[in-house]
Amino acid sequence: MSRRTRRTAPVTCPCGLPAPYADCCGRLHRGEAGAATAEQLMRSRYSAFAVGDEAYLLRSWHSTTRPPRLELDPGPRWVRLEILGTTDGSAFHSTGTVEFRAHYVDGGRTGEQHENSRFTREGGAWVYVDGVSLP
């Protein structure tokens, strides 16, 4: 038995939908499904932050804005995602925005990230472009 602790896949999906992780964002993380909408991609990226899937974050990032590499800060634990609003981003659109509030706990303190993210399609797949932080 290893005494090292490691992150294990959560049972309930971190994105907040009432589904097991394996059947929800886990399918996107494993590459078995693609996001149908910008909101679904946003949820899957939030879940990737929650489970520490850096590779998924990079491959769901637009090639022109993607950082060369990503090392997630192990501090914050992402505890809840609120989708506040969306524009476009459906199966019939090629761009979309998602405004969200992501709640975290870091060292016993709670915080939140409020952002309006922009999404587009690259090679047909929804990808994250960039985001504007909101107060």
Among 25, 42, 50, 98, binds Zn ion (CB under 5 A): 25
20 vs 64, which CB is nearer to Zn ion?
20
Residues 6+ apart with CB under 8 A from 123: none
Nearer to Zn ion, 32 or 71 (CB): 32
Q: How many residues does the chain have?
A: 135
Q: How far is the CB of 22 from Zn ion (least distance, A)?
A: 10
User: Is the CB of 24 or the CB of 98 nearer to Zn ion?
Assistant: 24
SS3 of 52-87: CCHHHHHHCECCCCCCCCCCCCCCCEEEEEEEEEEE
Tell me: does residue 15 bind Zn ion (CB under 5 A): yes
Instruction: Note whether 13 binds Zn ion by CB under 5 A.
Output: yes
Question: In the set 24, 28, 41, 102, which binds Zn ion (CB under 5 A)?
Answer: 24
Which residues, 6 or more positions from 108, have their beta carbon under 8 angstroms from its beta carbon? none
Residues that bind Zn ion (CB under 5 A): 13, 15, 17, 24-25
